[in-house]
Amino acid sequence: MPSDNWLADTRTSYDTVAAGYADLLRDRLAGEPYLRAALALFAEAVHAAGGGSVADVGCGPGHVTAHLRGLGLDAFGLDLSPGMIEVARRDHPGVRFEVGSMTDPVLSAAPVAGLLAWWSLIHVPDDEVPAVLGHFHRALRPGGPLQLGFHVGDGSRLKTQGYGGHPMNVRVHRRPPGRVAAWLGDAGFEVEAQLLLGPGEEVPQALLFARRPA
């Protein structure tokens, strides 16, 4: 069962591994053509909807945020971990990064033109996900695109070590795309497409493309 302190455990764990995690992911997008294509589609959707500020929620060390800016988006990063934000600011000077939680309604204080959440919902317990997606819906302008990335499967496991051998204490949730799509529908989004990555692997990955209706 998820710990009642899952949010604090996640923050502490990623503070601990921030440097090693950044080293692992720094050049990862260069070898991931499908992920780059997904980001290009996201950028195209934002531009088509009129452009504006874009939130990369759970941005980690900021490599995806920086890539979005390279695609012409006014992207900023938000992450629960101060350690991750420190690394992101170091590696990507001039890009806006803030410490914050997707569970906090303050996310919707200033509407954004697009919202990306890649492999950050994987630590959020099932019973908290609908509230988080509600925050995402309120944060997006009508017509704005949303893109989610997550592990495919069912159930969860406790991750106790990672990224340089440092200790962690986070539960990693795997979910069927249909379940995530249903949550998005309940939150008021229209799901437009699904991309399954590595279908033959032990843990496939998925991207869902959705939009807040205009």
**Range in 18-27, 61-70, 136-145, 161-170 with the lowest mean pLDDT:** 161-170
Mean of the per-residue pLDDT values for the chain? 93
In a domain, 84, yes or no: yes
| Nearest of 49, 33, 54, 29 to residue 147 by alpha carbon | 54
Question: Residue 206: which CATH number?
Answer: 3.40.50.150
Instruction: Give the pTM.
Output: 0.93
Containing 116, the helix (H) or strand (E) segment is strand 114-118
pLDDT band per the 50, 70, 90 thresholds, residue 162: confident
In a domain, 102, yes or no: yes
Q: What is the pLDDT of residue 83?
A: 96
In a domain, 41, yes or no: yes
In a domain, 1, yes or no: no
Domain residue limits at 144: 6-211
- Our count of domains for the chain comes to 1
DSSP for 7-50 reads HHHHHHHHHHHHHHHHHHHTTGGGG-HHHHHHHHHHHHHHHHTT
- How confident is the model over 99-127, as pLDDT tens digits? 999 988 767 667 999 999 999 999 999 99
